[in-house]
Amino acid sequence: MRGVVVAGTASGVGKTVTTLAVCRALEREGYAVQPAKAGPDFIDPSHHAAVTGKPSRTLDPWLEGDDGMRRTYARGEGDICVVEGMMGLYDGDTSTARVAALLDLPVVLVADARAGMQSVAATAYGFRTYADRMGIDADVAGVIASRAHGGRHAEGIRDALPEELPYLGRIPPSDDLEIPERHLGLHLGDEAPLSDEALDAAADGVRADALAEVAREPEWDTEEFEAGIRAEPVQATNSDGPTVAVARDEAFCFVYPSTLERLESLGTVSYFSPVGGDDLPDCDGVYLPGGYPERFAADLASSPTLPALADRAADGLPVFGECGGLMALSESLTTTDGDTHEMAGILPADVTMQERYQALDHVELRATDGTLTADAGETLRGHEFHYSSADPATDARFAFDVKRGTGIDGREGLTEYRTLGTYAHVHPESGAFDRFVSRLTD
């Protein structure tokens, strides 16, 4: 599968809108598009899925390892994979430039052209040559001008670009192409999607055929990486595979497609909606992904799901909650309006929403004892981004020490019975979900 990375000169230059316009333009030319996102984000992929109708792949070498990231890419399906970058091209420990280099994909640079013309070309040329200074094999192979008018403005940018940096189009300035923001990022794709009319207008400015020519097949052997998730996966002991109940609704919407694929490959997945008042399905274990439980705290408090979870957890049912899942498993959840709602009461902590984010980083955790997702001494890598704070009881037990990140006062993984709640999100390439499923038949 050919691919291209859509990267920005900085955050806020319009990468997401440009990515969506590129996807739409390529699809209109008859290409099957596989969307993807560099980094651990959940929000941008929801927009990709809303536009393309396909789950967006998460490509992050910290979460997945270099080979794991390549495996995730190789399992995509389509003619062209469009990868949206994160922050500016060279920003961060795990930069978009590094992701592009590891995947051997060309970079299409998105440059904000609101107040420039020839200077846009100069900026793009600088980004292309800076790769050598950084020692990163990042190939900046084309430019899309964001928030650029047509006519003389677009022509000035195009004519100023050197031959090795082709002009691949423009995204017009338009209020209809602004995606509203909320804490934890932009609104989800199914909440505030761009209108078809606005997206079509943006796609009109993309030179789809020229962009398709820039996209290329990686030189590494994708077929070698398509099968399997790890070199030595931990398999469930039950040959038929256990049943995992997975919460899926507006409160529990932050989940990597690879996670669901892995759980489905290891057993049976039964989806349910706590916000919708579903009963807890018959299952061998429960997974509560992250999301926005604070927005639906009243619905969760009145749902039969949380009391059922509390009863089953006390009886020894394995339950794994990540971020929003941890919040739902706690004693209580207090919103920024000061309203306190009772949660499942399994984990001994009270959670309070804050006005400012409390953690944002890649994390590394070391298991102090054997737990649902790791053996004692094992290290897991993940990602944390949350606006809530947890106040644990003085006798609360934790499963992990934090080697990198914030966690909960330098610790992570509240645990009670066979229930584990973490602020960290992990990817299945870490082996955490293999380990979780294997525990369900212990």
Q: Give me the residues paired with residue 364 across strands.
A: 381, 404
How far apart are the C-alpha atoms of 280 and 306, rounded to whole Å? 9
Full strand arrangement of the beta sheet holding 340-342: 340-342, 332-334, 349-353, 388-392
254 neighbors 42 (Cβ within 8 angstroms): yes
**How many CB atoms are located within 10 Å of the residue 389 CB?**
18
CA-based Rg of the chain, rounded to a whole angstrom?
Answer: 22
DSSP 370: -
How distant, in Å, are the alpha carbons of 82, 142, 188, 401 from that of 49? 12, 25, 10, 35
**Which residues are annotated as catalytic?**
323
Burial readout 6-16 (b: 16 or more C-beta within 10 A, e: otherwise): bbbbeeebbbb
User: DSSP 3-state assignment of 137?
Assistant: coil
State how far the Cα of 26 lies from the Cα of 17, in Å rounded to an integer: 14
